[in-house]
Amino acid sequence: MSGIDTGQDIFSYVALGDSFTEGMDDPYPDSGQTPHGRYRGWADRLAEHLAAHIPEVRYANLAVRGKLIGQIVRDQLPRAVELRPDLVTICAGGNDIIRPGTDPDQVAEVFEGAVGRLRATGASVVVFTGFDTGFQPVMRHLRGKVATYNMHVRAVADRYDCTVVDLWSMKMLHDQRAWSWDRLHLSQEGHRRLGLRVAEILGLQVEPGWDAPWPDEPPKDWRSARQEDLHWAREFLVPWIGRRLTGRSSGDGLEPKRPRLEPLR
């Protein structure tokens, strides 16, 4: 896929996915502290970068936290096809891959079907590899499954002429400051940097620095590190396990934050 044509007067963009694309944990200043607060995230930031180059950008974000790839295909894909945007970003399958017993080959088959339907509309499509989880002790055991899925994502991108955002190779994301307290979602700074990177890949002129070195900071002492681990287990790991055991999702009952193609203000 070639870069974005910034010479057009109106440009439409639709984002599909789960919490990663919804924007957790990058809240807008007016979102409050509730679990259902309004998030910004890299996709909103990408739309803002587009709006800096194109007179009118119409943007919809259909992503909802916690969604599996089958739910994204069922609930979000038909709407995206109906909207027929110029650009679609789709990041899906992550919530499937982290679940025990899932087969990345089967997840990739569903992903390919979705990409094929999107490309059939004439939209340019951007896809994402999974993160390298080797730096995260709790997620390190998933590294092989993620790598397998990534190979499928790249093959699908080749077959359908999609642009790939290679999250695996973004070493700056291996710093804990790129992640929120739950160690699963990007932090505000992580989303900011990723928004810049996606815009850069699409050929937009944006400020440099997405891969700038993180400022030096003193290492945490052992006691502080263990307290953070205990807090994380109590506030995130235990509730996450509870939802898996009962078949619930953090996105149950939630609607997309931008369900319609509307001009970006």
190 in the same domain as 233: no
Instruction: Please give the tally of structural domains in the chain.
Output: 2
Residues 150, 107: contact at Cβ < 8 Å?
no
Domain that holds residue 36: 10-217
| Token pair listed for 188 | 């505000």
Shared domain for 95 and 142, answered yes or no, is: yes
Structure tokens at 38: 């309004």
Cβ neighbours of 115 (radius 10 Å): 22
C-alpha atoms less than 13 angstroms from C-alpha of 62 in its C-beta half-sphere: 26
In a domain, 254, yes or no: no
E strand residue ranges, 104-187 = 124-128, 163-165
Q: Tell me: do 203 and 244 sit in the same domain.
A: no
76 plus 192 within the same structural domain = yes
**230 and 173 belong to one structural domain:** no
* 233 and 171 inside one domain: no
Q: How far is CA 96 from CA 41, 71, 131, 143, 231, in A?
A: 21, 11, 14, 14, 25
120 and 107 in a common domain: yes
Q: Would 258 be classed as within a structural domain?
A: no
Q: Domain holding 80: CATH number?
A: 3.40.50.1110
Integer angstrom CA distances of residue 55 from 6, 8, 49, 159, 265: 9, 8, 12, 32, 11
Total-model pTM: 0.90
Query: What is the DSSP-derived secondary structure letter of residue 39?
Result: B
Q: C-alpha angle with apex 89: 86 to 92, nearest 5 degrees?
A: 145
Residues 146 and 78 occupy one common structural domain: yes
User: 145 and 245 share a domain?
Assistant: no
Question: Which residues, including other chains, have CB under 8 Å from residue 64's CB and lie 6 or more apart?
Answer: 18, 19, 22, 75, 76, 251, 254, 255, 256
Residue 100's pLDDT is what? 86
Whether residue 174 is found in the same domain as residue 48: yes
Alpha-carbon distance of 21 to 64, in angstroms, equals 8
User: Are residues 163 and 64 part of one domain?
Assistant: yes
Asked if 55 and 144 sit in the same domain, the reply is yes
Q: What element of type H or E holds 78? A: helix 77-83
pLDDT by residue, tens only, the chain of 265 residues: 667 888 899 999 999 999 999 999 899 887 655 444 689 999 999 999 999 999 999 999 999 999 999 999 999 999 999 999 999 999 999 999 988 899 999 999 999 999 999 999 999 999 999 999 888 777 788 999 999 999 999 999 999 999 999 999 999 999 989 998 887 899 999 999 999 999 999 999 999 999 999 998 776 665 665 676 677 667 766 676 666 556 666 666 799 999 999 998 7
